[in-house]
Chains A and B, each alone.
Chain A
Amino acid sequence: ETGVTQSPTHLIKTRGQQVTLRCSSQSGHNTVSWYQQALGQGPQFIFQYYREEENGRGNFPPRFSGLQFPNYSSELNVNALELDDSALYLCASSMTSGRSYNEQFFGPGTRLTVL
């Protein structure tokens, strides 16, 4: 267990709908990163939030958006869902201090199925 929690565990949506996924970071961590893991693939970086602002983004369209709250928890929002958005969505928390890399601790993920 890492102390990173995600909700819900599973979710089924239909094409065109919108979805919100939630992540609570590990105590003491101030940075949250989101990854998409499609079936049979490695996780792909979506974006990262630090001090409530987006701090880096991967190759994902604007319909993927996020928020970070003052308690460092985070949401991932996906609008206009497409079939290819079906995947496991992983949240990872870390403590950013300076420019050095800081270990990321992953949550169990939310499995999203788009029909």
Chain B
Amino acid sequence: AQSVSQHNHHVILSEAASLELGCNYSYGGTVNLFWYVQYPGQHLQLLLKYFSGDPLVKGIKGFEAEFIKSKFSFNLRKPSVQWSDTAEYFCAVNSGGYNKLIFGAGTRLAVHP
């Protein structure tokens, strides 16, 4: 069965620190990969996505992610976090013939001023 693992459940950083959140998936075929963010009290929003092509994808708010096929990974990065990045981050995978998303358990990020 397909699954998504997020290595860090809680991350605490100071403003301006660099961020990297890990994501690994288990599926041998073609996948579409996503990072979603859920700010406190708000709905899930798409940060970035990878379908094909350049494995380094850039998303909104300065986030980027790198797809490494050999490692089945799609880690999220940001060079310098801000207090407003405090949120929960979810990695997700889509494969197969319809729009089913498989999510990881999420990483709760707290950024202190």
Which A residues lie at the B interface, using CB under 8 A?
Answer: 2, 4, 31, 33, 35, 40-45, 48, 50, 55-56, 58, 90, 92, 94, 96, 99, 101-104, 106-109
Most chain A CB neighbours (cut-off 10 Å) among B49, B92, B99: B99
Q: How many residues of B contact A (CB 8 A)?
A: 24
- Asked whether any CB of chain A lies closer than 8 Å to the CB of B111, the reply is no
Q: Is the interface of A mostly helix, strand, loop or mixed?
A: loop
30 inter-chain pairs at a CB distance below 8 angstroms, sorted by A residue, are A31-B99, A33-B100, A33-B101, A35-B101, A35-B103, A40-B106, A41-B105, A42-B103, A42-B104, A42-B106, A43-B44, A43-B90, A43-B101, A45-B100, A45-B101, A45-B102, A48-B100, A50-B98, A56-B98, A56-B100, A58-B100, A90-B44, A94-B99, A96-B99, A101-B99, A102-B99, A104-B99, A107-B43, A108-B43, A109-B43
Determine whether the beta carbon of A103 is less than 8 Å from that of B46.
yes
**What CA separation (Å) do A40 and B106 show in the bound complex?**
8
Q: Is B97 an interface residue (CB 8 A)?
A: yes
**Contact string against A for B residues 66-106, beta-carbon threshold 8 Å, 1 for contact and 0 otherwise:** 00000000000000000000000010101001111111111
Q: Is A104 in contact with B101, judged by CB distance below 8 angstroms? A: yes
Q: Is there a chain A Cβ closer than 8 Å to B51's Cβ?
A: yes
Distance A107 CA – B42 CA, assembled complex (angstroms) = 9
**Min CB–CB distance A109 → chain B (angstroms):** 7
Partner-A contacts on B (CB < 8 A): 4, 6, 32, 36, 42-46, 49, 51, 90, 92, 94, 97-106
8 more A-B residue pairs beyond the given contacts A42-B4, A101-B99, with a C-beta to C-beta distance below 8 A: A4-B43, A33-B99, A35-B103, A42-B103, A43-B90, A92-B101, A104-B99, A109-B43
Pairwise interchain contact A48-B98, C-beta atoms closer than 8 A? yes
Contact A2 B43 (CB under 8 A): yes
B40 to chain A, nearest CB (A): 12
What chain B residues lie within 8 Å of A103 (beta carbons)? 46, 49
**Cα–Cα distance between A65 and B101 once the two chains are bound (Å):** 19
A101 B43 Cβ-Cβ under 8 A: no
Considering the complex, give the chain A residue whose CB is closest to the CB of B31: A101
